[in-house]
């Protein structure tokens, strides 16, 4: 699995900015949609690990966006977990959203840390994977989004954390610079290939002490090397 991408559909710019900042600090790429029609188009065009939908979106309600999303669900299409937001925290609103296929529900005003925790839980539950990702002496807790190397907590920036998560999801396989850009950046964010090289260099330096290697395949991309004990004998 590559890096986590979230669609945030919220027309209140102050709320949208606060939520986007909180999620980006966790290393998620966040795409912002201000209307329901924009959100519906995005969900048809891109693959997301989570959608956060405000019920009171202009041009198309969040409930209608949700209804259309679930109507498109097929065995071949991945299930996108949906967290609904609303200023009307009435039982009838919650029931309607849940009946249409919402996975969770939060009423405004809400605590940003709680929203981030619920987002992590929904993504983790939907992925069906273990909350722990391991590569040799490196361990990454997807719940708390904390990486440790030889038992010591690593001090990683949001970009480095996102990069690490992508590489851990594809241990031993190449990830191109274009893939890294796509999964580390939301709409309106620009990250060059040179910047990717800088992030990889910084992360590589922090992992080398524990014997964990990021290998560069010139012109192709990067991969997190499998631990030696996992390699087949030559």
Predicted confidence (pLDDT) per residue in 116-132, tens digit: 888 888 887 776 555 67
Whole-prediction pTM = 0.64
Dist. CA 159–CA 200, nearest whole Å: 10
Residue 12 structural domain: 5-127
Residues 145 and 110 in one domain: no
Other CB atoms within 10 Å distance of the CB of residue 178: 11
Q: Tell me: pLDDT of 11 over 50.
A: yes
DSSP per residue over 54-117, as a string?
Answer: ETT-SSS-HHHHHHHHHHT--TTSPP--EEEEES---HHHHHHHHHTT-SEEEESS--HHHHHH
Q: Write down which residue in 96, 127, 158 finishes a domain.
A: 127
CB 132 within 8 A of CB 139: yes
CB 166 within 8 A of CB 3: yes
Q: Residue 100 maps to which CATH number?
A: 3.40.50.2300
Q: Residues 66-101: pLDDT tens digits? A: 999 999 876 555 689 999 998 766 677 778 888 888
How does the average pLDDT of the chain come out, rounded? 83
Dist. CA 9–CA 39, nearest whole Å: 6
Residues 114 and 186 in one domain: no
- Peptide linkage before 109 cis (omega within 30 of 0): yes
Structure tokens at 55: 């019920």
Question: How many structural domains does the chain have?
Answer: 2
232 pLDDT band, cuts 50/70/90, is: very low
Residues 122 and 23 in one domain: yes
188 pLDDT band, cuts 50/70/90, is: low
CB 71 within 8 A of CB 104: no
Q: Residue 200 maps to which CATH number?
A: 1.10.10.10
Q: What per-residue confidence (pLDDT) applies to 189?
A: 65
Residues 9 and 122 in one domain: yes
Cα dihedral 23/26/31/35 (nearest 10): -10
Other CB atoms within 10 Å distance of the CB of residue 185: 20
Residues 69 and 171 in one domain: no
Residues 185 and 222 in one domain: yes
Residues 221 and 142 in one domain: yes
Q: Write down which residue in 127, 157, 191 finishes a domain.
A: 127
């Amino acid at each position: 699995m590559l890096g986590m991408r979230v669609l945030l559909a919220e027309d209140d710019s102050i709320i949208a900015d606060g939520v986007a900042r909180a999620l980006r600090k966790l290393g998620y790429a966040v795409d912002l949609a201000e209307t329901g029609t924009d959100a519906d188009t995005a969900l048809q065009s891109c693959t997301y690990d989570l959608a956060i939908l405000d019920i009171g979106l202009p041009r198309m309600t969040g409930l209608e966006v949700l209804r259309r999303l679930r109507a498109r669900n097929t065995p071949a299409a991945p299930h996108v977990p949906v967290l609904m937001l609303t200023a009307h925290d009435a039982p009838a609103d919650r029931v309607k959203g849940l009946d249409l296929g919402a996975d969770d529900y939060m009423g405004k005003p809400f605590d940003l840390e709680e929203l981030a925790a619920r987002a992590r839980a929904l993504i983790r539950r939907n992925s069906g994977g273990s909350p722990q990702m391991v590569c040799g002496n490196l361990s990454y807790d997807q719940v708390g989004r904390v990486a440790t190397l030889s038992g010591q907590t690593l001090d990683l920036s949001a970009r480095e954390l996102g990069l690490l998560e992508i590489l851990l999801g594809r241990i031993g396989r190449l990830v191109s610079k274009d893939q890294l850009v796509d999964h580390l950046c939301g709409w309106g964010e620009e990250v060059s290939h040179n910047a990717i090289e800088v992030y990889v260099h910084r992360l590589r330096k922090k992992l080398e002490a524990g014997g964990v290697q990021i290998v560069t395949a010139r012109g192709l991309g990067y991969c997190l090397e499998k631990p030696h004990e996992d390699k087949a004998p030559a």
